[in-house]
Amino acid sequence: MTTKAIRRSQPIVPQPCDKERQYLINRCKKLAGKKIVIKYGGAALEHEDLKRPTLLDVALLKEAGAIVVLVHGGSRHLSQEMAKKGLAVKMINGLRNTSFETVDIARKVFGQLNTEIVELLDAAGAAPIGLKGEESDIIRAKAKDFDLYGYVGDVQKVKVEVLSKLLKQNRLPVISGLGIDENGQTLNINLDTVAAAIAGALSAEKFVLITDVDGILLDVTDSSTRMSLLNREQLKSLQSSNMVANGMLPKVEACLSAMAQGVKETYIISCRQPHALITELLGETQYGTHIVW
């Protein structure tokens, strides 16, 4: 046996004890063969200590046989990096006004996060492969309204061929969600929107948004007001209410958009609760909002 093979069988990331791990994998076998697109959001990524447990759950899903794609951004890290350079964050209609300099910082920050996520998933044995949306030409985008937003785009097309090929090879694509236009210009796109487009293009069965609140709340300051189960019609009516605002609005839109493209179930969950990703996907809605047709 080679040294590499020995390393692979002894993961360096602390695992749940063998019994618990096996118990979780057995339970996740219900999800074997299901295509699941997961967006790991900027708010969740800000919780350093929760990265390992969250990514371990992703790895367990894959080990149980689910077909997983992870999409991530890094909005909070980007804001911090901009502040260090004395650049103000200007949000217009919920989108970040993006200068040429900001695009450059985003590429760097998202790239670093991509490497880190890939390393953690690799250590957990998930066979990840890092893909930068703007480099691998997966996310084709078109500038939205340059005068208003700068280098912000709308998704035009997701090139699924590369992703499908990797999934067939049992890899776990980890995509950092910047787009690229026909001239090779990198564009910043809301990550909920990008992830929904990827879920739709891949005909995923399930689409999960991991954030740092327990799903859609009636009162943002009170987790006990969580809406645990909604159907599409109920979600649509929330979209036009003033109950959902700021960062939650693009999530509601993303869930509706994914479902309009055939995704059967969507979830908005918190990174704060242990194993929320697994338990919510198994239908025990305790820490998030589960949306069904």
| Residue 277 engages ligand ADP in binding (rule: CB under 6 A) | no
Who contacts 102 (Cβ-Cβ below 8 Å, separation ≥6)?
78, 82, 87, 96, 150, 151, 188
Residue closer to ligand ADP, measured from CB, 123 or 256 = 256
Taking residues 174 to 213 in sequence order and writing x for each that binds ligand ADP by CB under 6 A, - otherwise, the string is -------------------------------------xxx
Q: Does 216 bind ligand ADP (CB under 6 A)?
A: yes
Instruction: Kindly tell me which of 41 and 128 has the beta carbon lying closer to ligand ADP.
Output: 41
- For helices 191-201 and 248-260, the axis angle rounded to 10 degrees is 10
Q: Does 247 bind Mg ion (CB under 5 A)?
A: yes
Beta pairing class for 153-158 and 139-143? antiparallel
Closest alpha carbon to 175 in 238, 121, 221: 121
With CB under 6 A as the contact rule, the residue among 143, 166, 167, 243 that binds ligand ADP is: 243
CA nearest neighbour of 144 among 104, 185, 101: 185
Q: How far is the CB of 252 from ligand ADP (least distance, A)?
A: 9
Nearest to 91 by CA among 221, 276, 199, 245: 245
Q: Which is nearer to ligand ADP, 183 or 246 (CB)?
A: 246
| H-only helix segments in 140-229 | 146-149, 160-168, 191-201
DSSP letter (8 states) at residue 239: H
| 267 neighbors 199 (Cβ within 8 angstroms) | no
Residues contacting ligand ADP: total by CB under 6 A? 17
Contact criterion met (CB below 8 Å) for 200 and 261: yes
- Dist CA 206 CA 185 (whole Å): 31
Cβ nearer to ligand ADP, comparing 208 with 281: 208
By DSSP bridging, strand 186-187 and strand 67-72 are unpaired
Chosen residue from 60, 123, 180, 244 binding ligand ADP by CB under 6 A: 244
For ligand ADP, the closer CB: 218 or 260: 218
Q: Taking CB under 6 A as the criterion, which residues in 121-180 touch ligand ADP? A: none
State which of positions 30-69 bind ligand ADP (CB under 6 A): 41-44
By CB under 5 A, the count of residues binding Mg ion is: 1
Nearer to Mg ion, 65 or 247 (CB): 247
- Site string (16-35) toward ligand ADP, x via CB under 6 A: --------------------
By the rule CB under 6 A, 111 interacts with ligand ADP: no
For ligand ADP, the binding residues (CB under 6 A) are 41-44, 75, 211-213, 216-217, 220, 243-248
